[in-house]
Chains A and B, each alone.
Chain A
Amino acid sequence: MDRSVSVPTPRPPTPARGQRIALVDLLDRLLAGGVVITGDVTISIADVDLVRISLRAIIASIRPEMDRVLEEGDDVRDEPIQGVVVREDPRP
């Protein structure tokens, strides 16, 4: 069998069971729109949270700005343009 495809062993159509199902595949079906892990990253040293970086916060707001920066006639392709926002962790 070709290595580039993984195919479950043929069997009569009884539903697949238990742990053999990947969570991500299950969630695609159970939750409209699936699931995403946020891009937030918390940087800490020795268990002391210091900084949280949230990349997505700025993305939506920066994008329209960047579109205006492009010169007239440029095709605006669907490539992401982002920046980084760094916030000090408010927790003590």
Chain B
Amino acid sequence: MSAYRPRHEASKARDGDERRSHRLPGRLDTDAEQVQRDLMRLVLTVIELVRQLMERQALRRVESGDLSDDKVEELGLALMRLEEAMTELQERFDIDARDLNLDLGPLGPLLPPQ
């Protein structure tokens, strides 16, 4: 995409404006089962991030045209399996794809809005 800079980003760039940060009690703290579920959500978010990065990079390589057809196929199959695995994990832990995001304050959300 072009060097378009949306207004919602523009206001982030003002110098000298520090955001106040607050520690909300962000605790994963009940019983062992709930903790496991919350932990999985955290872990799956990170895995999803890595998956998206890998996919993006793979698509770039494919588009660059320097991979053989067999390599492209191999890459595609691997990514497809990865996506299937992710879907299965989400289902198993009853986690909606939209839950897999983290707000990092001034850095915005971890994953791009979908």
Contact = CB atoms under 8 A, between A and B. Distances in A.
Interface of A: 27, 31-47, 53, 55-56, 59, 74, 77-82, 84
Contacts, number: 92
Interface of B: 1, 9, 14, 17-29, 31-32, 35, 38-39, 42, 46, 49, 53, 56, 60, 102-112
Given A36-B105, A40-B23, 19 more contacts: A35-B20, A36-B21, A37-B21, A37-B22, A39-B104, A42-B26, A42-B28, A43-B38, A44-B27, A44-B29, A45-B31, A45-B32, A55-B102, A56-B105, A56-B107, A74-B60, A80-B107, A80-B108, A80-B111
Contact of B27 (A34, A35, A42, A77): A42
Contacts of B20: 27, 31, 33-36
Contacts of B27: 41-44
